[in-house]
Amino acid sequence: MFWCRNEVRPGVSVAFTDTGAGNLALHVQDDPTEVMARRARLERVLGLEDQSVSRRFQYMDQVHGNHVEFIEAYGPGPTADAMVSAAPALHMASDRSVQPLAVMVADCVPVLLVGTDAGSSPVLAAAHAGRPGVASAVVPATVAEMRRRGAVDISAWLGPSICGSCYEVPEQLREEVAAEIPETWSSTSWGTPALDLPAGVRAQLAALNVPVEYSGECTLENDSLFSYRRDSLTGRFAGLVWTHD
């Protein structure tokens, strides 16, 4: 069910699902009832099912942009490509509960970020960094929103995504994106123009002094991960970040 799952700080965990968890997206050709059942199963496995509705994972309507939404409570998925959540302004020092966040991908880079505010409560974020999002700086915008909410000591976890040796693009597109983020310039293993989106995200985070604690494997090269480039009709796996006791 999980490609990677770790407690990254006391009381804070990140995870990336695989095909064992099934498709978690409502916008592909799948039964919505079954999708919601899979999402609920994830919450049960992670120990969130006995808590309030606000402890359900918040998903978003991803549109390959750079809009970042601040999530105060669980609700209808915002139209955005990144979300940030933090403890309410008036919270008990012992209350570390923060809205759990989810991002869905099938080749794009799922980025999970964790920071800490002045009251030592976690500040969480999840970003969807596809080619348009990397080019339009969705990840730097997410870090900026975290810092605006008081986050310091931010670290990042990059989930599985298509690698620079597999993501073939037209030459002009490679030139356009690499002109903005030089680290994305790449070639496929068969010698054609390509983009390395994970390298681009890592470079953007390095420029912001945000360390990358994990960078996942290639989706196209792993059958246990969904890949749109490999199978155009496919599901989506999720990157998850949440707090717990």
Cα–Cα distances in angstroms (integers) from residue 156 to residues 21, 150, 182, in the given order: 23, 16, 21
Query: Cα–Cα distance between 235 and 27 in angstroms, integer?
Result: 9
3-state secondary structure 1-47: CEEEEEEEECCEEEEEECHHHCCCCCCCCCCHHHHHHHHHHHHHHCC
Residues in the chain: 245
pLDDT tens-digit series, residues 73-127: 898 899 999 999 998 765 444 445 799 999 999 999 999 999 999 888 999 999 9
Q: What is the pLDDT of residue 52?
A: 54
Hey, what domains does the chain have and what are their CATH numbers? 2-162+212-243 (3.60.140.10)
Helices within 73-194 (DSSP H only): 131-135, 138-148, 171-180
User: Are 75 and 59 within 8 A, CB to CB?
Assistant: no
Q: What is the pLDDT of residue 51?
A: 53
Q: What is the pLDDT of residue 187?
A: 98
Query: Cα–Cα distance between 178 and 170 in angstroms, integer?
Result: 12
Query: Cα–Cα distance between 152 and 155 in angstroms, integer?
Result: 9
| DSSP three-state, residue 188 | coil
Q: What is the pLDDT of residue 25?
A: 96
Q: What is the pLDDT of residue 96?
A: 54
Ranges in the chain, pLDDT < 70: 49-54, 89-96
Query: Cα–Cα distance between 145 and 214 in angstroms, integer?
Result: 22
Q: What is the pLDDT of residue 94?
A: 45
How deeply is 48 buried, as exposed, middle or buried, from its count of CB atoms within 10 A (0-12, 13-18, 19+)?
A: middle
Q: What's the whole-model pTM score?
A: 0.95
Q: What is the pLDDT of residue 218?
A: 98
